[in-house]
Chains A and B, each alone.
Chain A
Amino acid sequence: MKNHVVVDPITRIEGHLRIEARTNDAGAIEHAMSSGTMVRGIEIILRGRDPRDAWAFAQRICGVCTLVHGIASVRAVEDALKYKIPRNAQLIRNLMIAAQYVHDHVMHFYHLHALDWVDIVSALKADPKATSELAQSISSYAKSSPGYFADVQKKVKTFVEQGQLGIFANGFWGHSEYRLPPEANLMAVAHYLEALAWQRDVVKIHAIFGGKNPHPNFLVGGAPAPISTSPTGAPGGAAATSVNIVALQEIRNVISKMMTFVDQVYVPDTLAIASFYKDWFKRGEGVGNFLTYGDFPEKGMDDPSSWLIPGGVILNRDLTKIHPVDLNDPSQIEEFVAHSWYDYGPGKQKGLHPYVGETQLAYSGPKPPYEALDADKSYSWLKAPRWKGNVVEVGPLARVLMLYAKGHKPTKDLATYALKTLDLPLEAMFSTLGRTAARTLETKIIGDQMKVWLDNLIANIKGGDVSVHNAERWDPSTWPAECKGVGFMEAPRGALAHWIVIKNRKIDNYQAVVPSTWNAGPRDPKGQPGPYEAALMDRHTLANPEQPLEIQRTIHSFDPCIACAVHVVDPDGAEVMQIKVR
């Protein structure tokens, strides 16, 4: 097929994603398909297990946004059991989630997204002195001398001259769509390396509270991070556990260094790079509908007024009207499988709320090895979630728009500053680079809040409140025979919720509807494309179909997490045995 472009694997993402596009003779994308090509069936595996164990299984849905499924899971169990957690545990969770945001977003920008805009080979032509001047003109970051950039350039030059390009092999270097001057490329390459070292420090926050990263530990009813007590009983001292006064000061240092990088490197780099690609603020919008569930409670998840990020839905770019979201309302959130490799009991055209969801793996795609999928049939292991039948986008752009719409002052100030710097109207946010910029803005908004939560945690400890776990409902004999709950959060990639049904102290049903399913899912029975597909069909012309750089740009602007997105829902014990396996 002459105008049929297949990109599989999409690299620099989490998981296994395939994009197929059909272009006209001018190279413009007229039709796009997003397909998740890997499934594990973690929800099936969860059935029959102890609900207190669920977080560990659910967390392994993803090791990049590690922790998000752990948090959603313990919140689901706590919601089902009406289980209150101590205030310190809430603060510890906020700090851990926020650290995840900052870590994830910076790594996404430099390691997963930058090479769509930055030509590493062009950096060899840069003048280190001019690079230094450029860096110093946009930031006060200390590492900005000509010698520093010359060293980085030498490292890259030696690497390239050896002839083994490793992860940079076969890149589209020299593509006409790379527009940064050599100096901006060199600066970005330097920061690519800096960010790799930087992130190792950030995750210490997870290690101190959760024992390790990736995959820190969580606990139903609180945090598995007792505050260290000395043999004499003095709280905070003696380092009996890793959560002690010394470590809390270390966390303060980590936050401070972390935010220095965000303020002095990540934010200015985003604006500098974006300024060379302003046409990318005019394409790749997607659907113009946005969903958030809300997160970062100052008090508790049951008190939405205390959340930093509010929940709601924005339709058709209308920021004046926020529609409320109810995760328990069967008419609001439904998942469709009309174009997914699953069957539904009531028929493949029906939508089902997660509480009554079904799973019957039913692969009907071509026998591997295959060349093409068929958009008229099923073509993905992802389902298609909808809110009241609408396709919605989740993630940083949705959150920044929601905060903006609600009049959150730091967000308004920061967005106004960024748009003014780039000389762009608010509408520019509805685009590929709008999505990327929103990710940068929220990193600062959320990261800045961490110091407040840490101060509150330390103040509580000093005031004598050292409780991090509520043991009241830990013993399963205290639980009702049957209960159900939903745990939700704002993961770095968007709104995430887990639904759990507990019967006789075991998991009877477990379902996750995750951010990348909302964004990367296939068409629904009405033929409405998912956000990835819609975004690719919004003004994308491939300069060279053999090197589909444009597809990489817009797909990466969503920060795909496909292991998360592919999940398996399943209604009751008997169904597991009836999974259709051809």
Chain B
Amino acid sequence: MREDKTLAQALESRGVSRRAFLKYASYVATLMALPPSASRVIAEELAKARRQSVIWLSFQECTGCTESITRSMSPTLEDLIFDFISLDYHHTLQAVSGAAAEHARTEAMKANKGKYIVVVDGSVPLKDGGVYSTIAGITNLDMLKETAKDAFAVVSVGTCAAFGGIPHANPNPTGAVAISEIITDKPVVNIPGCPPIPEAMTGTLAYLLSFGKLPELDAKGRPLAFFGETIHDRCYRRPFYERGMFANSFDDEGARKGWCLYKVGCKGPIAYNACATLKWNGGASFPIQSGHGCLGCSEPGFWDKGGFYEPLAAATAKLDIGVGAAAVAGVAAGAAAAELMRRKKSAAVDAANSKKKDG
């Protein structure tokens, strides 16, 4: 069996330089705020000769999540599908259509029973027997249940799969629901965002592959490594907020000088996501840096929160009573986030240690 090979042999047979591989493993460890010892575990698990089977289901979606994962800078999509995972079913990317495509899905389920990961993008419509979305003549509900039955874990990517997203927005014409409302007997990770940050998807997958368990999640099922702090907590414009310097329109002096976008509707203070730290598309920018407020797209029900250009009600109240109170609130939030990071790190150390013992 190839599993018996050493890490170096496994890498060599795959044409990957050991140095490049370890560099990637330590990148993932850093990205997810894991201790240095974790990168060794990651490297060894990822280098296993049999790649982890992943079945990607697309339901009521726009393919933005798939597009986003192709933008991942590290690991890249091509790294993932050639070296780390076996993407056995994926509508947008797989070569073959029709019955042969469906056959690939059922084959992968059989061959990897209990071990494969199901990734889902898009919500599932339940109204009227599910007729609002079918694939190969079967409803999304039936396909999800059938496919998830023997999965090791389910990963909901994008706000539609995680929380219902836009199909679920009022008045929810097709009775769309989140994946976690259907799959209740398996571990489910939510990686929301419209779309999610690509590295949040690939980083979480790398963690799952490496440790064989879910990363630490928040109350909404999101990995704390990416969703542990708000955009506002880490925004480079935060100092302007503290000093009460705001853009009052989209092209005034404040907007051009990069002042805080609170008053033009930024939802950064209530959006837990990593845009302000990881940024987008290789660090080119993120929405606030370009000059538009955050839409809060990683939060449940963000489509129905009363208008993208309406200033946050709570924030306005804080502004009215002076900048000081807001600053205090920010400090409190920062302290909580720091505590979460500490807890996450110790959990990761435990995970890495127990893995070592097992192995």
Contact = CB atoms under 8 A, between A and B. Distances in A.
Contact of B64 (A63, A120, A151, A158): A63
Contact of B98 (A8, A14, A107, A576): A8
A197 B77 CA distance: 9
Interface residues of A, number: 113
B81 interface: yes
A39 B67 contact: no
Interface string B283-315: 011111111100100000001000111000000
B281 A212 contact: yes
Contacts of A196: 70, 76-78
Contact of B250 (A40, A45, A240, A471): A471
B145 interface: no
A191 to B, nearest CB: 13
A31 interface: no
B127 A474 contact: no
A15 interface: yes
Nearest to A168: B95
B106 to A, nearest CB: 11
Contacts of B63: 14-15, 62-64, 563
Given A53-B309, A222-B251, A227-B256, A167 B142 contact: no
A41 B228 CA distance: 33
Contacts of B165: 60
Given A11-B101, A61-B62, A211-B286, A193 B78 contact: yes
Contacts of A215: 64, 194-195
B51 interface: yes
Q: Is the interface of A mostly helix, strand, loop or mixed?
A: loop
Contacts of A367: 129, 131
A229 B253 contact: yes
Interface stretch (B24-32, B169-177, B200-208, B351-359): B169-177
A154 interface: yes
A439 interface: no
A572 B235 CA distance: 42
A16 B133 contact: yes
B250 A217 contact: no
A11 B61 CA distance: 15
B117 to A, nearest CB: 13
B340 interface: no
A39 B286 CA distance: 31
Contacts of B131: 363, 365, 367-368
A561 to B, nearest CB: 8
Interface in A91-118: 107, 111-112, 115
A464 interface: no
A154 B62 CA distance: 35
B341 to A, nearest CB: 25
B290 A224 contact: yes
Given A158-B13, A208-B285, A242-B289, A63 B195 contact: yes
Contact of A204 (B76, B108, B255, B282): B282
A368 B130 contact: yes
A128 to B, nearest CB: 14
B64 A169 contact: no
A9 B195 CA distance: 23
B213 interface: no
B347 interface: no
Nearest to A171: B95
Contact of B134 (A37, A222, A227): A37
Interface in A202-226: 203-204, 206-215, 217, 219, 221-222, 224-226
A411 interface: no
A547 B100 contact: yes
B17 interface: no
Interface string A351-363: 0000000000101
B290 A169 contact: no
Contacts of A155: 15, 82
A39 B133 contact: yes
Contacts of B232: none
Given A162-B49, A170-B101, A219-B292, A231 B81 contact: no
A172 interface: yes
B284 A207 contact: yes
Contacts of B92: 11-14, 64, 112
Contacts of B166: 40, 42, 45, 57, 60
A217 B280 CA distance: 13
Contacts of A209: 290
Contact of A568 (B64, B135, B172, B173): B173
Given A363-B131, A563-B62, 18 more contacts: A8-B98, A10-B97, A11-B92, A11-B94, A14-B92, A61-B62, A62-B64, A66-B67, A169-B95, A197-B78, A200-B73, A200-B282, A210-B287, A219-B292, A225-B291, A241-B289, A367-B129, A370-B137
Interface of A: 6-16, 18, 37-42, 44-45, 49-50, 52-53, 56-57, 60-64, 66, 107, 111-112, 115, 120, 151, 154-155, 158-159, 162, 164-172, 193, 196-197, 199-201, 203-204, 206-215, 217, 219, 221-222, 224-229, 231, 235, 240-243, 247, 250, 361, 363, 365, 367-371, 381, 466-469, 471, 474, 547-548, 551-552, 563, 568, 576, 579, 581-582
24 contacts: A9-B136, A12-B95, A39-B133, A41-B167, A45-B171, A50-B307, A53-B307, A53-B309, A56-B295, A56-B308, A57-B169, A63-B66, A170-B100, A170-B107, A200-B76, A200-B282, A207-B290, A211-B289, A212-B275, A222-B251, A247-B284, A369-B139, A576-B171, A581-B127
Interface of B: 13-15, 49-51, 53, 58-68, 70-71, 73, 76-78, 81-82, 85-88, 90-104, 107-108, 125, 127-139, 142, 165-167, 169-174, 176, 194-195, 247, 249-253, 255-258, 275, 280-282, 284-292, 295, 303, 307-309
List the 9 shortest-distance A-B pairs measured between CB atoms, nearest first: A63-B64, A240-B258, A211-B287, A41-B173, A224-B292, A207-B284, A242-B285, A212-B280, A469-B251
